[in-house]
Each structure stands twice: as C-alpha cells, then as structure tokens.
Amino acid sequence: MGEVFAGRYELADPIGRGGVGAVWRAWDHRRRRYVAAKVLQQRDAHSLLRFVREQGMRIDHPHVLAPASWAADDDKVLFTMDLVTGGSLVHLVGDYGPLPPAFVCTLLDQLLSGLAAVHAEDVVHRDIKPANVLLEATGTGRPRLRLSDFGIAMRLGEPRLTETNLVVGTPGYLAPEQMQGAEPDFPADLFAVGLVALYLLEGAKPDTKALVRYFLEHGTPGPPKGIPEPLWQVVASLLQPDPADRFRTATGARKALAAAAELLPEPGIDDELIEIFDQLGPLPPGFGPEGPLRQAPGIALELLPDGPPVPPSGTAQQEDPYTGTGTGDTGTGPGGSTDARTGTDPGASSPTGSLSDTGSFRLPPPPHPLDPIPGPHALPSTPTPAPPPPHTPPIQAPGPMPAPLPMPDPLPAPPVDTTTAAYTARAPHPAPATPPLPAPSPAPGRRHRARRALRRPGPPAKAVIPLLLLALVCYAVGFWALARL
C-alpha cells in the first residue's frame, strides 16, 4: 500500500524528478488506471507559483503531455498526467547511439507538431531538451513522442517570476538571445529543437557555445558526417544565432522538414531496427496491473473498487450534485426509502435533529385542507397525506356522534411519511394536529347575557363625564396659580 493523496491518488513508486517536484507512478481510484503524479517538494511561494502555472497549462494534443488534473491535501499539492512508459530521448540515444536520419525525421516532425500546438496557445516552453521529450513504449512500431515538463513555461505577456538579469533554463539548450536576457519568445524554442535534432543525429550532447561561435565567425558549416544534406539544411536553419534567420514558426519548420524527408534514401534491409522498450520496470510490491492489491486507508468512499450501489431495474438514476456519481433510491418497505448517499433511513432521528450535513434539503409537502362537514356533532375529516403511503385504509365518511363509550387504549401513532428525498430533515414529521370539536351553540335566551359578561369592566359613563370636568378645572386652577407667582 502506498500513500493516499487527497483520497483519490495512491502513490506507488517514484519514476523521475523535475525542476520543482518528484514524479510518481500513482493509481487513480476514480479513473481506475495508473497516472504520472508530480508532487511539489518545495513549499516556498516561488515554487508554488511555478507549480500553479504549470498545472494551468491545458493543451490537448497527441504529442503534448500537459497536466490533466490536480489535487491538494493539507500542505501538499500535485497534478497528474498520462503515464508514458517508453522513457525519454536520453534513454533512446543511450540504447542505440546516433539514430537513423529517417527515424529522426519522424521524431522531429512530431516534436514540431506538438510545439506548434503549444505556440498556438501563446505559450513559450523555454525548456526543450531530450530529457523532456518522452516516448510511448511502442516497440518496433511507429514511435510516438510527447513534449512534457511545462515547469518554466509562460504565456506571452505574463509577468516573469524571475529577475530580468536571471536566466532560466537548462545549460546547453539555451538560445543565444536567452543568454543575453531577452524576453522569452518562440524562436528560442526552435533553437532548442535544432539542438535536440543534432543530439539525435550525432548521439551526443552538442557544444552550444562552440557551435554558435562557429556560426558567427564562419557562417553555416557543412553537414557533419552521417547527416544528409537536405536534413542538415533544416537543422542549420534552426541553429542560426540570429533569431531573424531562423524559421518564423514551428509549422514552417515542419513543412521544410517534410520536404527534406522526401529526399532521404529509403532505409536498407541491413539498417538497425529501433525498438522502444518499457523503461519503468515492474510494479512495486502491493500493486498489480489492475491497481493496488489491498485497499489503503484514506480512500474516498465513492471511489472504492466496488463503486456506488447499482440501482434496481425501474429505479430512476439520479446524480449526486456533490460527487458527480449516479445514485438511485431503493425502497425499504411500504412508505419508506433509503438515503442514497448514506444508506440510512431519512426518517430516522439523528442525535442533533439537524438537517442534512450538506445544507441542501427539501421542505415536506403541505397537508391538504380539511373538508368541512355540516352538522353540529360531526367529526372533522382526516387529512389525506401526499402521496398516500401504501396499505392506507380508506377514509370512512363521518356520521353522527355515537353514544359515549368507555375510553379504549391509545392507538399507535400514524405512520411517518418518509417518501421525501434524501436531503429532507431526518427528524420524523409530526402528525397534523386534530382541531377541537366545535362547541354547541348557546341557547337563544343566554346570548344577551353572554355578550354582557364579555364586556370590559370599568366605571359607568355617568361617573366618567363629571370626573373629566373636575380634572380640567383642577388643571386650570393650577396654571392660574403658577401665573400669579
């Protein structure tokens, strides 16, 4: 079992190391497949900004390996990509040395295709090198290349995360204008592609300083040994020290490369066959081709291998708005239902009696109004629940009040309506209160006395008027006395 990250990604084994983090082979419990997870190692603000910028690169292209998703867990962050198992161009050259020109043309065409998609998003990669160009494990079939590692990539016009006098990139794969502190631009990426092409054709890392110096002092040199002239013309155009002398776009370089590839001789029978192997090796103990062999603690419940319960036939499929997974309500008996998210009866009382933890709930349906029934001793009709629970006996029409009988034992409470949704309050709904029986009408002779009995007590009107007059006289005398002082 490996470390579980954000309840979804289970780290298996480290497979590489980048500029700001380590790359792990991880099992994605949601997608049920292995992915490459890049975990941030340094937690300073500068590294976090680069990490956020890299995971924001969403470029969908068959020859670009961009981040697909990201997650955060406490003080750790990671993003995931497709798992590419064939290693990088460094592994390929390490296995075979200089590669055949026709094979190199195929790789360069895919690299320029992916780079054209990156530039179409106004993104400058700034770190194109053999270690960042990965290969699928295609065996002896047609190779498939993926441009990866956007850790220091930036969009045109974005603020730089480094000082103006600080150069960012890999020594030996920097364009001359980058060494002079120029703003990142597309021609710098094309210069790096030329260096990668020379690395593949010669089987060794080129001496960039000596190459640029020779171009500046003697102009474009002749093709090195083993490199056909048409292909060298394309590579030399990419390696020009002056950005204005290079190809303007990756698409233009790709067109020139296609024209040069048509002039190359056909591969011979005795030429070595290039095979791209799986460079990752076997899975660590505890992991198999279908994922971890044992369930690790910390996996989210909705991501367990068994998955959510399958709804029975005829049950409507509902989508959980919080997990995005489909759930269905399954009945527990007449008038009951099961909470699709917790498997508990929504009518069961909770210790706190509160609503759903998510705060999303529905109010219970209002009861139907009572039907008035005439008659001085008629009983009120029982409200009909909505919807009526199964096996509810029919309501009998009320009749006249029977003679008084001995009080029977109290009847059990009516069944609780639990047919509401999963986000209804878990406390049982109280049964509607039965209104009291109407009081008998008083006799005609007693109505007048009842009205007089309900009158408000107080002094009679004959005594109130003299008292008010006396109070006014007292006020007048008082004011007169004050005025005399």
Catalytic residues: 127
User: Phi then psi for 64, rounded to 5 degrees?
Assistant: -125, 130
Range 216-219 contact pairs with CB under 8 angstroms and sequence separation of 24 or more: 216/241
CB 223 within 8 A of CB 229: yes
CB 136 within 8 A of CB 158: no
Read off the amino acid at residue 174.
L
Give the Cα separation of 252 and 100 in Å (integer).
23
Closest Cα partner for 133 from 64, 54, 219, 74?
A: 64
Counting every residue, how long is the chain?
485
Closest Cα partner for 417 from 485, 338, 335?
A: 335
DSSP H helix total and E strand total for the chain: 10, 14
Read off the amino acid at residue 10.
E
Residue found by looking up tokens 């103990």 in the block: 285
Write the burial class of residue 112 (CB in 10 Å: 0-12 exposed, 13-18 middle, 19+ buried): buried
Q: What is the DSSP string of 204-261?
A: S---HHHHHHHHHHH-SPPPPTT--HHHHHHHHHHT-SSGGGS-SSHHHHHHHHHHHH
359: left (phi over 0), alpha (psi -120 to 50) or beta: left
Residue 227 CB neighbours (<10 A): 19
Q: What does each C-alpha distance from 422 to 3, 114, 359, 389, 470 come to in angstroms?
A: 33, 48, 12, 17, 74
Give the Cα separation of 32 and 9 in Å (integer).
10
> How many Cα neighbours within 13 Å face the side chain of 365?
15
Q: Which residues of 260-290 are buried (b: 16+ CB within 10 A; e: fewer)?
A: bbeeeeeeeeeeeebebeebbeebeeebeee
Residue 398 CB neighbours (<10 A): 15
- Strand, helix or coil for residue 485: coil
